[in-house]
Structure formats: structure tokens, C-alpha cells
């Protein structure tokens, strides 16, 4: 099936709206909606009769996520509630020393800032770096002999700036610094390779670019660092001998499942598995190509409007699926209300308006949205 035919088969957003808000919460594809509906119906009629089959879906999801991010094994994947939970597992799993510091940017979403600031009582310092024209160099330069961790968003939620994670990962390895990537604004939008970037930890919710329900996220931990994280959540699901309920002895699982303390979110598992399977079927190279074409089309149209200023870097490799802009003559709040009143679903972030299309977004709707700015 061609990508055009697949888009027609999978996405049937209302013709009354222009949806440019995938960086917040994405609509579900038709196949994902069907899987979730079928799961709900099965549960309604049969209860947990088919739980063994559901467990196979869970294992399929781990394998598909591993393929999506090029993890060495599905054992490297944990299924957790959200990005914030995964970040907290890193923050409160590492053994910190007085005067250790963590380097982040000054543009981070609160999830990737508050969690590190909460370590202040352990005398851990947070260094916030301004992302200039060479953001990777700025981050690397801020790392010193006391830097224990570099924690960065692969794509910044507001400005949309996308970082060279390969360069950052290599710098961390050279300096003996742990590398933690909040990839919620990249996985599902661009090709992503945890081995290539040499990440120690990667986390991302499924409800944005992966086109799945809220309430489920992937947490990747490299096999050589995983056991160094002290566990702070315990329960039946995180033990090695998973279904031996009568045993009085237990050890934590050696796989990513060690971070999953209780019962899995089976409804979201079914949904995320369907969406990730769709992305893999299309091919992330094609998804990335189509998405970047749409962002470049936005650049082209917005640059023709003399009253618009684009915040997002326009240099190849420095943007993903987010474009942030403002109007020099219009109040930002009024502009946002104007767009929403015309059914352009977008967001206010930072100093401007954030548009975030996906690979399937219709080019005519992109043009129509930019016409409203006149």
C-alpha cells in the first residue's frame, strides 16, 4: 500500500479542523482505535479470559519499541506510566555525591527540570545552559569534573530546536558522564537510534508522535548501567520469577521490567502496540521525510509573511516536527484565539504559537492555517 493510500485508510480527522498539535496529544490512527475498541469489547464480554493473549501483545510491544529505537534487545525496554516517572527513576536511582552537578538546557519542559531540581537536598547542583547557535558546544562546555549527568530533550518542546545527540553522546562517553535523553518530541517523528547516540537512558510517552493513548511510556536503559539504578518502587511485576506468587524469596528482574512494579496498563499497551506497528510498517525513514517536508513547507509559507518571525531554527538537522513563531503586530493571545476560533488546533508555547503537524498532515490545511495569519 502506498503511503498516500495508507494515510487515507488510517486518518479520518474531522474536515472541520486543522490538527497541528501532535507535540501535545495526537489523534489515534483508525487501526489503533479498532484495536482499543476490540480490546474493550473483549474485556466487556469475557473479562480476563484471554489474558495469555494480552501478554503476547505486551511482549510484541516491547519488541516493536526496541526496533523503533534500535535497542539491542527488548529486555532494554520498560513500560512505565509516563516520561516523568522514568526521569524520576533515574534521578532517585543514582547514588549522588555532594557537589555532583547535572547539566540541562534552560528551555526544558518542567518534567526534565523539576526532577533534577528536587535533588537539591542531596547537594546536587543543576546547571541550566542557554542554547545558542551552537547548542551542543554550549552544553558540552558546561560539563566539568563534577558533572555526573547530561539530561536533555532531543527536541525542545517550545522552540522546536533539535539537537545533535550523536555529538552529545560521544562527548558524554569521552568525559565519563551519563547521558539521559527525554525523547518525547522525537520518537515517532524522526528516526531514533539509542545505540548510535550512546544513550544510557531514554524515555518518551506514546501519546504524541507515536500516535497512541496517554498513560504509557517507554523507558530505555542500557544493559551496562541498568543495575546501577537503585529501585524505589516494588511489587509483584518487577521480580525475576514473575508468576511464582507463592515464593517467599525474590530478586528484581534483570531486564527493564525491574522498573515496572505493578499490573500493566493493558488497554494502552494494545493501543501503543498498534500505533508503533503502523509506524514500522510505513518505515520511520518515510515518516521522517514526509514530516520534515511539511515543516519546510511551513517555513516557506511563513517566511513570505513579513509580519511573522520564526523562533525555530531553520537549519537542516536543527528542527523536527515543531515550528514556533509569533506575529510582530498581533498579541500572541489574540492570535492563538483567532486560530482556534477557525478550528486550527495548535498551542501557545514560549514566546509564540506552536504548530506541530505529523507526516500525514494535508498540505492544503497547512496552507490554509498560514493564510489565517494574514
Answer yes or no: do 199 and 227 share one domain.
yes
Answer yes or no: do 131 and 197 share one domain.
yes
Query: What pLDDT is recorded for position 2?
Result: 82
Last residue of a domain, one of 244, 262, 281: 281
What is the average pLDDT across 117-145?
Answer: 96
Q: Let me know: does 201 contact 115? Beta carbons within 8 Å.
A: no
Confidence band, pLDDT 50/70/90 cuts, at residue 4: confident
Question: What total number of domains does the chain contain?
Answer: 2
What is the average pLDDT across 179-202?
Answer: 98
Closest listed residue to residue 167, CA positions, set 121, 134, 145: 134
Residue 307, in any domain of the structure: yes
What is the average pLDDT across 20-33?
Answer: 98
Last residue of a domain, one of 261, 281, 301: 281
Answer yes or no: do 267 and 298 share one domain.
no
Answer yes or no: do 43 and 142 share one domain.
yes
Instruction: Give residue-wise pLDDT tens across range 141-188.
Output: 999 999 999 999 999 999 999 999 999 999 999 999 999 999 999 999
Last residue of a domain, one of 281, 302, 333: 281
What is the average pLDDT across 257-276?
Answer: 98
Residue 9, in any domain of the structure: yes
Query: What pLDDT is recorded for position 253?
Result: 97
Instruction: Give residue-wise pLDDT tens across range 45-100.
Output: 999 999 999 999 999 999 999 999 999 999 999 999 999 999 999 999 999 999 99
Give the relative orientation of helices 266-282 and 51-69 as an angle to the nearest 10 degrees: 40
Containing structural domain, residue 351: 3-20+283-371
Instruction: Give residue-wise pLDDT tens across range 211-264.
Output: 999 999 999 999 999 999 999 999 999 999 999 999 999 999 999 999 999 999
Query: What pLDDT is recorded for position 236?
Result: 96
Closest listed residue to residue 197, CA positions, set 355, 360, 69: 69
Amino acid at each position: 500500500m502506498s503511503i498516500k493510500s495508507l494515510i487515507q485508510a488510517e486518518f479520518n480527522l474531522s474536515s472541520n479542523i486543522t490538527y497541528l498539535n501532535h507535540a501535545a496529544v495526537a489523534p489515534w490512527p483508525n487501526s489503533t482505535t479498532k484495536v482499543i475498541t476490540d480490546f474493550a469489547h473483549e474485556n466487556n464480554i469475557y473479562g480476563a479470559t484471554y489474558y495469555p493473549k494480552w501478554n503476547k501483545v505486551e511482549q510484541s510491544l516491547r519488541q516493536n519499541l526496541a526496533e523503533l529505537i534500535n535497542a539491542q534487545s527488548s529486555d532494554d525496554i520498560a513500560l512505565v506510566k509516563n516520561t516523568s516517572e522514568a526521569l524520576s527513576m533515574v534521578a532517585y536511582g543514582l547514588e549522588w555525591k555532594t557537589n555532583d552537578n547535572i547539566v540541562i538546557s534552560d528551555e526544558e519542559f518542567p518534567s526534565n527540570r523539576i526532577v533534577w531540581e528536587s535533588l537539591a537536598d542531596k547537594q546536587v547542583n543543576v546547571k541550566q545552559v542557554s542554547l545558542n547557535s551552537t547548542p551542543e558546544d554550549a552544553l558540552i562546555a558546561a560539563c566539568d569534573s563534577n558533572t555526573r549527568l547530561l539530561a536533555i530533550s532531543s527536541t525542545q518542546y517550545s522552540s522546536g530546536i533539535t539537537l545533535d545527540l550523536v555529538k552529545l553522546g560521544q562527548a558524554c562517553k569521552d568525559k565519563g558522564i551519563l547521558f539521559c535523553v527525554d525523547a518525547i518530541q522525537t520518537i515517532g517523528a524522526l528516526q531514533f537510534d539509542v545505540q548510535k547516540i550512546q544513550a544510557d537512558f531514554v524515555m518518551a510517552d506514546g501519546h504524541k508522535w507515536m500516535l497512541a493513548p496517554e498513560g504509557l511510556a517507554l523507558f530505555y536503559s542500557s544493559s551496562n548501567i541498568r543495575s546501577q539504578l537503585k529501585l524505589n518502587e516494588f511489587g509483584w511485576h518487577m521480580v525475576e520469577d514473575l508468576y511464582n506468587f507463592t515464593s517467599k524469596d525474590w530478586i528484581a528482574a534483570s531486564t527493564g521490567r525491574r522498573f515496572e512494579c505493578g499490573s500493566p496498563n493493558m488497554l494502552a499497551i494494545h493501543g501503543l502496540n498498534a500505533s508503533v506497528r503502523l509506524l514500522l510498517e510505513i518505515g520511520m525513514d518515510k515518516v521522517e521525510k514526509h514530516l520534515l517536508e511539511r515543516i519546510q513547507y511551513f517555513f516557506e509559507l511563513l517566511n513570505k509573511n513579513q509580519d511573522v518571525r520564526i523562533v525555530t531554527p531553520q537549519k537542516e538537522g536543527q528542527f523536527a516536527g515543531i515550528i514556533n513563531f509569533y506575529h510582530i503586530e498581533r498579541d500572541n493571545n489574540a492570535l492563538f484565539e483567532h486560530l482556534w476560533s477557525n478550528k486550527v488546533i495548535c498551542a501557545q508555547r514560549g514566546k509564540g504559537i506552536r504548530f506541530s503537524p505529523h507526516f500525514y498532515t494535508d498540505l492544503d490545511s497547512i496552507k490554509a492555517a498560514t493564510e489565517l495569519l494574514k
